[in-house]
């Protein structure tokens, strides 16, 4: 791959960083941005400074697609400290009301408005109990506060707080392809000395990530140029039906055109662009 092609990839890709304990999520994304001399980079899904794990970072124009990737289930592994020794059966009984849809009030120190919200707890597994320390794994709806979940559970017992937490999955991103800041920094150093291989293997082309979260609709090449300057998608542009999902990705073979949202009752217009990659 030429340097010019790599620069284009850097401007429309993602990297899955293994966030360490200490820095904020914003500091991590800024470090990535500065290291690669990019105009923009943004993280997807804030982790508290002491929380580690999966932190996807969008690069360049891919930042405009954050909403497409962010609002998906998250999985965490953590340790909660019980304030008194409790049998496993009693703990499981206390956990039962916290499975499924719950009402959660964000913690006082959160940056969001403190208003009750509904969140889905898909699973909460007790993996191991060592005295008062409980190793757990939980899959939750995006926007769920795990620390608050543990606190609220503790109120049903004799108190509990979170000791450690690691995010192991965020939507399509997991620990199977994740890189520490040290590995990233080393790859950037190699890249700046003319060796691209290590950095290339870390980058996820945005087009490939999009295919994993949205249905793909193919369009004929003759319609591409007009669409790239913002023309709405018309019935006559397609020879295939639209997917059931309201939002979809438009491709011409392997070429990504944009993200479109279906519209109703606008004559021949069937979808309008949310993002065009021109």
d(CA 16, CA 53): 9
Structure confidence by residue, pLDDT tens digits, 89-119: 999 999 999 999 999 887 766 666 778 889 9
User: Residue 29 pLDDT > 80, yes or no?
Assistant: yes
* The two domains 76-150 and 214-276 share their CATH topology (first three levels equal): no
d(CA 86, CA 159): 11
Q: How many CA atoms lie within 13 A of 144 on its CB side?
A: 30
The residue count of the chain comes to 278
Contact 89, 64 (CB under 8 A): no
**Which of 103-117, 120-134, 255-269 ranks highest by mean pLDDT?**
120-134
Token pair, residue 92, equals: 């499981």
Token pair, residue 70, equals: 């962010």
Mean pLDDT rounded to a whole number for the chain: 92
In this prediction, residue 230 has a pLDDT band, given cuts at 50, 70 and 90, of: confident
pTM: 0.92
Structure confidence by residue, pLDDT tens digits, 173-216: 999 999 999 999 999 999 999 999 999 999 999 999 999 999 99
Bridge partners of 268, per DSSP, are: none
Fold classification of 3-70+173-209 (topology level)? Pseudouridine synthase (3.30.2350)
In this prediction, residue 276 has a pLDDT band, given cuts at 50, 70 and 90, of: very high
Give the model's pLDDT for residue 109. Answer: 67
CATH code of the domain made up of 214-276: 2.30.130.10
Q: What are the residue ranges spanned by the domains of the chain?
A: 3-70+173-209, 76-150, 214-276
Give the model's pLDDT for residue 110. Answer: 66
Q: Quickly list DSSP for the chain.
A: --HHHHHHHHTEEEEEEEEPSSS-HHHHHHHHHHHTT-S-EEESS---TT-EEEEEEEEEGGGGGHHHHHSS-EEEEEEEEESS---HHHHHHHHGGGSEEEEEPPPTT-SS----EEEEEEEEEEEEEETTEEEEEEEE-TT--HHHHHHHHHHHTT-EEEEEEEEEEETTEEGGG-EEHHHHHHHHHHHHTT--HHHHHH-EEHHHHHHHHS-EEE--GGGHHHHHTTPPEEGGG-SSPPPSSSEEEEEETTEEEEEEEEEEEETTEEEEEEEE--
Catalytic residues: 48
Fold classification of 76-150 (topology level)? Alpha-Beta Plaits (3.30.70)
Cβ atoms within 10 Å, residue 6: 16
Q: How many CA atoms lie within 13 A of 87 on its CB side?
A: 3
CA separation, residue 194 to residues 39, 43, 127, 181 (Å): 21, 27, 46, 20
């Amino acid at each position: 791959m030429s340097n010019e092609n790599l620069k284009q990839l850097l401007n429309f890709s993602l990297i899955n960083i293994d966030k360490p304990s200490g820095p904020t999520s914003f500091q991590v994304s800024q470090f990535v941005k500065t290291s690669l001399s990019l105009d923009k980079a943004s993280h997807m899904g804030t982790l508290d400074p002491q929380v580690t794990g999966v932190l996807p970072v969008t690069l360049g124009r891919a930042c405009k697609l954050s909403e497409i990737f962010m609002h998906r289930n998250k999985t965490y592994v953590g340790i909660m400290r019980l304030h008194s020794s409790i049998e496993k059966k009693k703990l499981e009984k206390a956990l039962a009301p916290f499975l499924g849809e719950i009402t959660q009030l964000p913690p006082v120190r959160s940056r969001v408005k403190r208003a009750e919200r509904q969140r889905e707890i898909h699973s909460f597994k007790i993996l191991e109990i060592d005295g008062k320390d409980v190793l757990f794994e939980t899959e939750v709806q995006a926007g769920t506060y795990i620390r608050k979940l543990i606190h609220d559970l503790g109120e049903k017992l004799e108190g509990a707080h979170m000791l450690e937490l690691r995010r192991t999955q965020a939507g399509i991103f997991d620990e199977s392809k994740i890189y520490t800041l040290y590995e990233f920094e080393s790859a950037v150093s190699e890249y700046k000395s003319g060796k691209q291989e290590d950095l290339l293997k870390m980058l996820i082309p945005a087009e490939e990530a999009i295919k994993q979260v949205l249905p793909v609709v193919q369009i004929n090449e003759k319609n591409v140029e007009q669409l790239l300057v913002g023309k709405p998608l018309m019935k006559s542009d397609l020879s295939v039906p639209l997917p059931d999902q309201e939002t979809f990705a438009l491709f011409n073979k392997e070429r990504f055109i944009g993200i479109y949202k279906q519209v109703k009752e606008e004559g021949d217009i069937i979808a309008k662009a949310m993002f065009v990659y021109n």
